[in-house]
Amino acid sequence: MEETHEIVLTVNGTHRTARAPARRLLSDLLRHDLGLTGTHVGCEHGVCGCCTVLLDGAPVRSCLMLAVTAAGHEITTVEGLAAPDGTPSPVQRAFRECHGLQCGFCTPGFLCTVTALLRDTPRPTEEQVLDGIAGNLCRCTGYQNIVRSVHRAAELLSEREGGA
């Protein structure tokens, strides 16, 4: 029997525990061990960006990280972006409004990436948006509506800041 490790981490604010071998990828731990299938897996070698999650707030490829390495850290997946009552986050609302998705396969990765991008750069230029999402592939939308969604999300976030 392959040796397993107890892996304790925080996922979307909740303390989670799983037992898995060291070779378990974080993406597989989330999907298979914890049942959080919102994180998608496309290429499994870092190229497509579908599996992007936030590790202590920073976007990372969950397919390029061992779950054992992530132990003790805070992970945010697409399931953790909405408010506790299920209200979509400004980034999620913007993607819906601007048709920033079609099949939705790439969307969880984009949502996590853009959430961190706008937190660090609340008023991004066009170039900063393009650079910020350059590591995420989408086979459906042609990206135009995704770019619009990012700008719209920045607007929604600033309205919330100002209006709250």
Ligand X SMILES: Cc1cc2nc3c(=O)[nH]c(=O)nc-3n(C[C@H](O)[C@H](O)[C@H](O)COP(=O)(O)OP(=O)(O)OC[C@H]3O[C@@H](n4cnc5c(N)ncnc54)[C@H](O)[C@@H]3O)c2cc1C
Interface positions with another protein (CB under 8 A) = 2-3, 5, 21-23, 25, 28, 44-46, 49, 52, 55, 58-61, 63-66, 68-69, 113, 131-132, 134-135
Residues 24, 107: Cα–Cα separation, whole Å: 23
CA 97-98-103 angle, to 5 degrees, is 95
Q: How many residues bind ligand X (CB under 6 A)?
A: 2
What is the SS3 assignment for 25?
Answer: strand
- Of 97 and 128, which CB lies nearer to another protein in the complex structure? 128
Ranges within 23-52 binding ligand X (CB under 6 A):
46-47
User: What is the largest distance, in Å, between two alpha-carbon atoms of the chain?
Assistant: 57
**Residue 51 CB, nearest approach to ligand FES (Å):** 3
CA 39-127-101 angle, to 5 degrees, is 35
Stretch that binds ligand FES, among 16-24, 46-54, 67-75, 124-132 (CB under 6 A): 46-54
Q: Is 106 in the site for ligand FES (CB under 6 A)?
A: yes
Residues 57, 113: Cα–Cα separation, whole Å: 10
**Residue 67 CB, nearest approach to another protein (Å):** 11
Tokens of 76: 């945010």
